[in-house]
Every structure is written in C-alpha cells, then in structure tokens.
C-alpha cells in the first residue's frame, strides 16, 4: 500500500490542471472541477500511503522476539495480608 500510494501521488502530481489567459466561464468551471478532483485524489493517495505505513508499524510491533523466553511475572500481594483478605 505504501508503494501504491507513493506511485499514485507521483502520477497525480505529474498531471496538474493549468489555466490559461482568456478562458471562458465554462473552461474556468471545468478547470476548478479538475483542480478539486486532483486535490481529492491526492488526499486519497495520502490516506492509502498512511494506512500502508500504519500496517508496517503494526506488523513490526506484533512480531515475537526470537531468542528471548517469555517470563511469567507473579506479583506479590503483601498488602492484602494485612486485611486478612483471600483472593480465591
């Protein structure tokens, strides 16, 4: 997704609508619509890139560490003895 988002961003930014002097009202409206579509596609490509980057971060965080055994930690509950409470 990162590569697709990056390629889309490059392709979208390579074709930017440009206005000219002496345009008619219809051409100006078409230009404004094309500029808005270009901006929307750029935003979508950025979102796609961001989601891909997020998935990469999650995949690195979800990996188990090799060579390190998992330690079980037992917490001592000393303060419960003062109140004569039983856990189970």
Give 42-88 pLDDT, tens digit per residue: 888 888 888 888 988 888 877 766 766 666 766 666 665 666 655 55
Range of the domain at 53: 1-88
> CB of 5 within 8 A of CB of 45?
yes
What is the pLDDT, as a whole number, of residue 67? 67
Measuring CA to CA, which residue among 42, 48, 44, 54 is closest to residue 5? 48
Query: What is the number of domains present in the chain?
Result: 1
pTM attached to this predicted model: 0.60
> CB of 41 within 8 A of CB of 74?
no
């Amino acid at each position: 997704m990162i590569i697709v988002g990056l390629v889309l961003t490059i392709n979208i930014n390579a074709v930017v609508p440009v206005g000219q002097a002496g345009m008619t009202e219809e051409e100006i409206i078409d230009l404004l619509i094309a500029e808005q579509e270009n901006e929307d596609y750029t935003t979508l490509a950025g979102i796609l890139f961001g989601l891909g980057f997020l998935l990469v971060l999650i995949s690195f965080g979800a990996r188990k560490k090799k060579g390190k055994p998992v330690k079980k930690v037992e917490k001592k509950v000393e303060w419960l003895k003062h109140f004569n409470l039983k856990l189970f």
